[in-house]
Structure 1
Amino acid sequence: MGDTPDSSPAKKTGQLSNPLNTGIPVNSDTTRPSVSAISLNTTLFKHDALSKDAHNWTTWSRQFIQRLRMNQGADAYLTGKVPQPNRFAEPRAYSNWWANNGSILGFMGLTILESEQEIIDDATTAKEAWTKLNDCHSQEGPVKQVQLIRDALAIRYSTSEKFASTSSKLTTLNKRIWAMGAPSPELFLCILMINSMSGLPELRSTRENVAQALAASDGPDIDSDKEPLKRRLMT
């Protein structure tokens, strides 16, 4: 016959089926905590400090994630995929979690400029800090990229300046443009339109309106039904 409620193994040993939700200490926490301490190796991180002026979020964030991934998958803390253990049920795992979280926050702070540090000063977790940085930098992408490409297209080689200096300027702008990611076909079309209107004074207001419409949109994929300025230029 099967066990009765009074004679079940759980009742005999006084254990509960899910101690993690009750705050009852887990025996394995001392020897095999669910969250192990991570000793971050950051020596392989080779990137300029994150800066909004440098528009380098795309390349910086990619390398930051890759370096954490090489440290026992510590990049999971950026997305909240490592749940915080119960401090009473798993005190050691809980302590390890906060130590790992603090190491990632410290590493993050050392790889960004002071102006970026102000964005994450009040963040208590790596996920919160990462979200703040992502939100801050992703909002400026398309419009800033348009400006950088226009600046690059306006540069000309001249006998009044060393060719090497001009090449250096183009190289720097090129790196900044591509650091923001490849432009979509829609964004590049807007860039071409804005740049092509620069020589006609009578199109100045239209040019400014197109730039403002792009800035006001959620990104480069402007809906031609909702953005008649772009539709007018394409017909």
Structure 2
Amino acid sequence: MVYDAPPSDIVNPGPHILRLWAYCRISLSKSALAFLPTPNRTETHKKSNQTHLISGSKTHQDRRASRILQSTMPPKPTEPKEVPDSDKTPKVLSTDATHPSVTLLRASIPFSGVKLHRDSHDWKKWERSFRTFTTLNHLTHYVFPPFTYLPLPHTEPRAFSNYTENLTMAVAALQSTVDDSLHDLIDYDKGVRKSYEALREHCQSAGPIRQVAIIRQALSTYCSPSEPLVATANTICMLIDTAFDMGTITRDLFKCITLLNSLSDKAGPDPTRPPKRANPHGREGTDAPPRHGTHGQRL
């Protein structure tokens, strides 16, 4: 508390008391002012400190966010360097000129089997002979899988040329194993594989009419004393296999077989049986030799 006047309990103060009172008043005023806050300077200091803290925290957050983004983002793709035109073009293999990966073949062994015919054919037997023929001439993998590796023309030009020549020769080899009636199914432009598939589709889908004829031929094949039993059985089995290779044997197919057999028996003699010999005495022809009596007379 600061007194503006001397206390009232002091009566008639002397000059020295008045001076002491004035000194105390001045001292108290200075000490009180020292403890009073200076609003302008304190608020300015606080604001500057807050601004510094806020700016510092924002800088720290920005740095942390940038580090997180850098760790999560994928690396920037490196731009490909321009390659000169001479390096872009593929180079020819050095071994292609002297040792190509595909050599040029020559079919030196002829086909020894029976040629495939449009009307009379046995596909399985011909196929076995054809596989043997292609194996001996090193052409198997141009017709049957696994197929020969196709070289690239820009890296192995000589091997590629040999490959195309071998394919053409394989088509010619296939054509040499079939009859002239099947040459229209072989196409050099389509290649040997498609030509072979066309032949197989044609021979294995001849239809029920062809199946009926083959099965009738098997049913009309009889054993003979002049031929071994094993050979006759083998012929019958081959005919049945050929008929089954042409398609499914159904109930209707067997009906057709029986109907045709009944018609052919009444229409004329069986072409598979030997003809009957004429009897000069007017009797009915017979296959049996003439019988003779005890004195050589005919009976």
What is the CA–CA distance in structure 1 between the aligned matches of 2:183 and 2:152, rounded to whole Å?
Answer: 30
Where relative contact order (Cα < 8 A, 6+ residues apart) is larger, the structure is 1
Structure 1 residues without counterparts, runs of 5 or longer: 1-10, 17-21, 158-162, 165-169, 202-235
Residue 226 (structure 1) aligns with: none
In the TM superposition, what is the alpha-carbon distance from 1:187 to its structure 2 partner?
Answer: 3.0
In the TM superposition, what whole-angstrom CA distance separates every residue of 1:117-159 from its partner, at most 9, and x where no partner exists?
Answer: 11113544221221221222222277623321124435789xx
SS in 2 for 1:47: coil
- Mapped to 2, the partners of 1:143 and 1:116 lie a distance apart of 19
Residue type of the partner of 2:153?
R
Give the superposition deviation at 1:83. 3.4
| Residue 139 of structure 1 pairs with residue 205 of structure 2 | yes
Distance 1:90 1:179 in 2: 46
- Between Structure 1 and Structure 2, the one with more helix by share is 1
Match among 168, 175, 184 for residue 118 of structure 1 = 184
Percent of pairs with identical residues: 22
TM-score when normalising by structure 2: 0.46
- Cα distance between partner residues in 1 of 2:184 and 2:256: 34
Give the equivalent residue in structure 2 for 1:84: 150
Shift of 1:26: 1.5
- Aligned counterparts of 1:137 and 1:79: Cα–Cα separation in 2: 18
Structure of larger gyration radius: 2
CA drift of 1:75 comes to 1.0
Give the conservation status (yes or no) of the 8 Å contact 1:150–1:195: yes
The Cα of 1:46 is off from its aligned counterpart by 1.5
CA contact (8 A) 1:149 1:177 kept: yes
Matched residue type, 1:180: T
User: Once the 2 structures are TM-superposed, how far is the Cα of residue 61 of structure 1 from its aligned partner?
Assistant: 1.7
C-alpha distance in 2, partners of 1:23/1:117? 41
User: Which residue does the alignment assign to 1:65?
Assistant: 131
The gaps in structure 2 that reach 5 residues or longer are 1-82, 227-231, 264-299
Classify 1:63/1:155 alpha carbon distance in 2 versus 1 (closer, same or farther; 3 Å): closer
Change (3 A) 1:56 1:174: same
What does residue 100 of structure 1 align with? 166
* Among 101, 119, 131, the residue aligned to 1:34: 101
Q: How many residues align?
A: 180
Cα separation, 1, equivalents of 2:207 and 2:252 = 14
Q: 1:180 and 2:242 equivalent?
A: yes
- CA RMSD of the aligned region, Å? 4.2
Alpha-carbon distance in 2 for matches of 1:143, 1:59: 21
**Aligned residue number for residue 210 of structure 1:** none
Whether the 8 Å contact between 1:141 and 1:180 is mirrored in structure 2 is no
2:91 aligns to what?
A: 24
Counterpart Cα distance in 1 of 2:128 and 2:98: 35
For the 8 Å contact 2:109–2:136, the answer to whether it is kept is no
